[in-house]
Structure 1
């Protein structure tokens, strides 16, 4: 952080993470270095080839120190 700027307290990342890869790892690691509390939203719809529930648990096992939330949307 630049001198004199306060560190943000919270941050959010959203994505499908289908599947999680090194780019996602880099993104989460970078975001964690900028905020005190990070939330990662795993967004899904039922028709995707890798279930949202599976990706949610996948992300939780990889990023144990961030808040991972599964968000579904089945709007037509």
Structure 2
């Protein structure tokens, strides 16, 4: 795999992880909005918080993992 192809695939993977987190947060908001019982609202809130953490941590961790090592 050439370098531009690898960089493009990694970019798409990081962007896809962000979109997956946004989808999870939206699902949590829908659960909160349609909830009848308090337990359902708490599950929706937990899903939103987990998705926000996912959005913040996963793309950054992937970028750190794929970072070019500094030249010695």
TM (normalized to structure 2)?
A: 0.30
> Which one has a larger percent helix, Structure 1 or Structure 2?
2
- Could you tell me the TM-score, scaled by structure 1's length? 0.29
Structure with a larger share of its residues in strand: 1
